[in-house]
Amino acid sequence: MKIRVGFGFDVHQLVEGCALWLGGIRLEHAKGLLGHSDADVLVHSICDALLGAANMRDIGYHFPDTAGEYKNIDSKILLKRTVELIAEKGYRIGNIDATICAERPKLKPHIPLMQETLAAVMAIDIDDISIKATTTEKLGFTGREEGISAYVTVLIEKE
Protein backbone atom coordinates (compact mmCIF):
# COMPACT_ATOMS: atom_id res chain seq x y z
CA MET A 1 0.00 0.00 0.00
CA LYS A 2 1.22 3.49 -0.86
CA ILE A 3 0.31 6.43 1.41
CA ARG A 4 0.62 10.14 0.78
CA VAL A 5 0.07 13.21 2.92
CA GLY A 6 -1.42 16.52 1.81
CA PHE A 7 -1.88 19.93 3.39
CA GLY A 8 -4.57 22.52 2.65
CA PHE A 9 -5.13 26.10 3.74
CA ASP A 10 -7.84 28.63 2.90
CA VAL A 11 -9.01 31.99 4.19
CA HIS A 12 -12.01 34.13 3.35
CA GLN A 13 -13.14 37.56 4.48
CA LEU A 14 -16.12 37.92 6.82
CA VAL A 15 -18.70 40.43 5.55
CA GLU A 16 -22.29 41.39 6.25
CA GLY A 17 -24.87 40.17 3.77
CA CYS A 18 -23.28 36.75 3.09
CA ALA A 19 -24.22 33.37 4.50
CA LEU A 20 -21.73 31.60 6.78
CA TRP A 21 -21.00 28.11 5.48
CA LEU A 22 -18.45 26.00 7.38
CA GLY A 23 -17.91 22.27 7.09
CA GLY A 24 -20.82 21.93 4.71
CA ILE A 25 -23.41 23.42 7.05
CA ARG A 26 -24.91 26.87 7.31
CA LEU A 27 -24.37 28.65 10.62
CA GLU A 28 -26.39 31.56 11.95
CA HIS A 29 -24.09 34.55 12.33
CA ALA A 30 -24.19 38.30 11.67
CA LYS A 31 -21.51 37.92 8.99
CA GLY A 32 -20.69 35.35 6.34
CA LEU A 33 -17.72 34.49 4.17
CA LEU A 34 -17.15 36.29 0.89
CA GLY A 35 -16.13 34.25 -2.13
CA HIS A 36 -16.93 33.11 -5.66
CA SER A 37 -18.59 29.94 -4.34
CA ASP A 38 -20.20 29.63 -0.90
CA ALA A 39 -16.69 30.35 0.51
CA ASP A 40 -16.63 27.35 2.87
CA VAL A 41 -13.00 27.59 4.03
CA LEU A 42 -13.02 24.16 5.64
CA VAL A 43 -14.28 22.36 2.55
CA HIS A 44 -11.90 24.32 0.32
CA SER A 45 -8.96 23.37 2.56
CA ILE A 46 -9.97 19.71 2.46
CA CYS A 47 -10.13 19.84 -1.34
CA ASP A 48 -6.68 21.44 -1.54
CA ALA A 49 -5.19 18.89 0.86
CA LEU A 50 -6.65 15.94 -1.06
CA LEU A 51 -5.58 17.29 -4.44
CA GLY A 52 -2.11 18.11 -3.13
CA ALA A 53 -1.65 14.65 -1.66
CA ALA A 54 -2.55 13.12 -5.04
CA ASN A 55 -0.22 15.58 -6.84
CA MET A 56 -3.18 17.07 -8.73
CA ARG A 57 -2.52 20.78 -8.19
CA ASP A 58 -5.16 22.76 -6.24
CA ILE A 59 -8.83 23.67 -6.03
CA GLY A 60 -8.39 26.78 -8.18
CA TYR A 61 -6.94 24.69 -11.00
CA HIS A 62 -9.90 22.29 -11.09
CA PHE A 63 -12.65 24.76 -10.13
CA PRO A 64 -11.46 28.25 -11.17
CA ASP A 65 -13.15 31.31 -9.69
CA THR A 66 -13.24 32.75 -13.21
CA ALA A 67 -15.68 30.04 -14.34
CA GLY A 68 -19.34 31.04 -14.16
CA GLU A 69 -20.53 27.50 -13.39
CA TYR A 70 -18.88 27.73 -9.97
CA LYS A 71 -20.45 31.07 -8.99
CA ASN A 72 -22.29 30.58 -5.66
CA ILE A 73 -21.83 26.79 -5.91
CA ASP A 74 -22.28 24.63 -2.83
CA SER A 75 -18.72 23.62 -1.90
CA LYS A 76 -19.94 20.13 -1.02
CA ILE A 77 -20.32 19.58 -4.78
CA LEU A 78 -16.67 20.54 -5.26
CA LEU A 79 -15.65 18.20 -2.44
CA LYS A 80 -17.56 15.27 -3.92
CA ARG A 81 -15.92 15.89 -7.30
CA THR A 82 -12.49 16.16 -5.64
CA VAL A 83 -12.96 12.75 -4.00
CA GLU A 84 -13.91 11.38 -7.45
CA LEU A 85 -10.80 12.97 -9.00
CA ILE A 86 -8.40 11.37 -6.54
CA ALA A 87 -10.27 8.04 -6.89
CA GLU A 88 -9.60 8.18 -10.65
CA LYS A 89 -5.89 8.04 -9.73
CA GLY A 90 -6.53 5.08 -7.43
CA TYR A 91 -6.53 6.94 -4.09
CA ARG A 92 -8.93 6.79 -1.20
CA ILE A 93 -9.07 8.88 1.95
CA GLY A 94 -7.32 7.48 5.01
CA ASN A 95 -8.10 10.31 7.42
CA ILE A 96 -8.54 14.07 7.67
CA ASP A 97 -7.33 16.34 10.47
CA ALA A 98 -8.67 19.91 10.29
CA THR A 99 -8.52 23.11 12.33
CA ILE A 100 -10.85 26.06 11.79
CA CYS A 101 -9.56 29.39 13.08
CA ALA A 102 -12.38 31.79 14.00
CA GLU A 103 -13.03 34.19 16.85
CA ARG A 104 -16.81 33.87 16.49
CA PRO A 105 -19.19 32.14 16.22
CA LYS A 106 -18.24 29.45 18.68
CA LEU A 107 -17.92 26.28 16.61
CA LYS A 108 -17.68 23.47 19.18
CA PRO A 109 -21.43 22.67 19.17
CA HIS A 110 -21.47 22.46 15.36
CA ILE A 111 -18.52 20.11 14.88
CA PRO A 112 -20.47 16.81 15.11
CA LEU A 113 -22.86 17.92 12.34
CA MET A 114 -19.92 19.09 10.23
CA GLN A 115 -18.28 15.68 10.64
CA GLU A 116 -21.51 13.88 9.78
CA THR A 117 -22.14 16.06 6.73
CA LEU A 118 -18.62 15.78 5.36
CA ALA A 119 -18.44 12.03 5.98
CA ALA A 120 -21.63 11.59 3.94
CA VAL A 121 -20.31 13.73 1.07
CA MET A 122 -16.97 11.89 0.94
CA ALA A 123 -18.51 8.45 1.68
CA ILE A 124 -16.07 7.82 4.55
CA ASP A 125 -16.45 6.90 8.20
CA ILE A 126 -17.17 9.82 10.53
CA ASP A 127 -14.28 8.62 12.72
CA ASP A 128 -11.89 9.44 9.86
CA ILE A 129 -12.63 13.19 10.12
CA SER A 130 -11.18 15.21 12.98
CA ILE A 131 -12.33 18.83 13.17
CA LYS A 132 -11.02 21.24 15.78
CA ALA A 133 -11.73 24.93 16.33
CA THR A 134 -9.53 27.61 17.79
CA THR A 135 -9.26 31.38 18.05
CA THR A 136 -6.26 33.67 17.71
CA GLU A 137 -6.88 35.22 21.14
CA LYS A 138 -8.16 38.40 19.42
CA LEU A 139 -4.92 38.82 17.43
CA GLY A 140 -4.68 39.52 13.69
CA PHE A 141 -7.45 39.52 11.09
CA THR A 142 -9.09 36.51 12.73
CA GLY A 143 -9.07 38.16 16.14
CA ARG A 144 -10.58 41.33 14.67
CA GLU A 145 -13.29 39.11 13.12
CA GLU A 146 -12.33 40.14 9.60
CA GLY A 147 -11.97 36.57 8.34
CA ILE A 148 -11.92 32.85 9.02
CA SER A 149 -9.23 30.37 7.99
CA ALA A 150 -8.86 26.60 7.96
CA TYR A 151 -5.87 24.28 7.98
CA VAL A 152 -6.15 20.64 6.92
CA THR A 153 -3.85 17.63 6.77
CA VAL A 154 -4.97 14.46 4.98
CA LEU A 155 -3.66 10.98 4.48
CA ILE A 156 -4.63 9.18 1.28
CA GLU A 157 -3.96 5.55 0.41
CA LYS A 158 -3.41 3.67 -2.82
CA GLU A 159 -3.70 -0.13 -2.93
The annotation status of 96 as a binding-site residue, yes or no, is: no
The annotation status of 58 as a binding-site residue, yes or no, is: yes
The annotation status of 59 as a binding-site residue, yes or no, is: yes
The annotation status of 12 as a binding-site residue, yes or no, is: yes
The annotation status of 9 as a binding-site residue, yes or no, is: no
The annotation status of 144 as a binding-site residue, yes or no, is: yes
The annotation status of 121 as a binding-site residue, yes or no, is: no
3 state SS for the chain:
CEEEEEEEEEEEEEEECCCEEECCEEECCCEEECCCCCCCHHHHHHHHHHHHHCCCCCHHHHCCCCCHHHCCCCHHHHHHHHHHHHHHCCEEEEEEEEEEECCCCCCHHHHHHHHHHHHHHHCCCHHHEEEEEECCCCCHHHHCCCEEEEEEEEEEEEC
The annotation status of 23 as a binding-site residue, yes or no, is: no
The annotation status of 29 as a binding-site residue, yes or no, is: no
- Point out the annotated binding site for a divalent metal cation: 10, 12, 44
- Point out the annotated binding site: 10-12, 36-37, 44, 58-60, 134-137, 141, 144
